[in-house]
Structure formats: structure tokens, C-alpha cells
Amino acid sequence: YEDLVLILEDDVEPPFDAIKKLTKGIMPNSGIGATGGVYRSGSHPYNVCAALAKDFWSQVPLYDSLPPETIDVGFIGAGCTLYNNHALKQCLPVTACHFSGHPTGWDGYLSYHLRQNGFALRLRGDIRCEHHSPSVVKYLRDKNPSNANIATLG
């Protein structure tokens, strides 16, 4: 087994079986640098926090139409993500950066450099996390008034 690093952001609530599901596939010499659960983007809550494009954070899937399968992605948010520590160490130090004139955070930096080092990124469509950021909560409440009980965390 490899050492793994789980990053769980304080406003992302994973399902109870998320860690068990995330560990499937990240095995020694698997070539997978990270695998993550699905959660809504804080800046665009109708999208997932991941991107299909490999050059910069674009071609972002819609949350409501994402299939429950595991898919390869070019960029992945770190809200509920398991990293292969061997791969992660090859990307240090981590910084925020720009790709093709588009700013990205440290998770975008990691995604880009993991792929540059030959590692794949996977998004697990069967792991649906709740994102309790104010913008996502507002979006869900506006979308459906029955979501009035959804709360932000913190």
C-alpha cells in the first residue's frame, strides 16, 4: 500500500463511505495521483469542482448531469480528495498559479503538476458530497424552497 493524504475541506461533508470508495484504485504503481468525490463549485454551484480540460480549468461538468461512474479529469478540487503521497511529493512546493491567463488555486496547481509527472486524476461520480459554502447553500435554497433546512458549516 502507498501512503495516502486525505484532504477534506471544512465546508465539505462527504458520505459515510467516501474514504473506503476513494481508496479503491490508488494502489502501488497504479499511476493515479488523486481521486476525489463530487461536490458543487463554490463559484458556480451548478457545476462540479473539477474540469475535463487538461490545459486549464475549463470544460467543467454540470453537477446534476454527472454520471455515477469514475471519470478521468484534468483538474480536481481538493474538497474531498485522496492523494497518492508519492505523487504529491513530486509537486512540492505547492503554490497558486495561472494557466493560459486563468488563475487557479493550489488544488489547480497540484492537478496540473500531478498530470505533468504522469499521474492520472479521477473523479468518483458515486461519491456525492455536500458543499456547505454560503454560495452553494443560497443556490440550493433558491433552486428549491424545500432546501430551506440546508445550513452552512463553520
- pTM summary value: 0.90
> What pLDDT score does 98 carry?
64
Alpha-carbon span 142 to 13, nearest angstrom: 20
Alpha-carbon span 76 to 17, nearest angstrom: 20
pLDDT in tens, 80-114: 999 999 999 999 888 777 666 666 788 988 999 99
Radius of gyration of the chain (CA): 15
Average pLDDT of the chain to the nearest whole number: 89
pLDDT in tens, 21-77: 999 878 767 899 999 999 999 999 999 999 999 988 889 999 999 999 999 999 999
pLDDT in tens, 128-144: 999 999 999 999 988 88
Alpha-carbon span 22 to 33, nearest angstrom: 12
Residue 127: its H or E element: strand 120-128
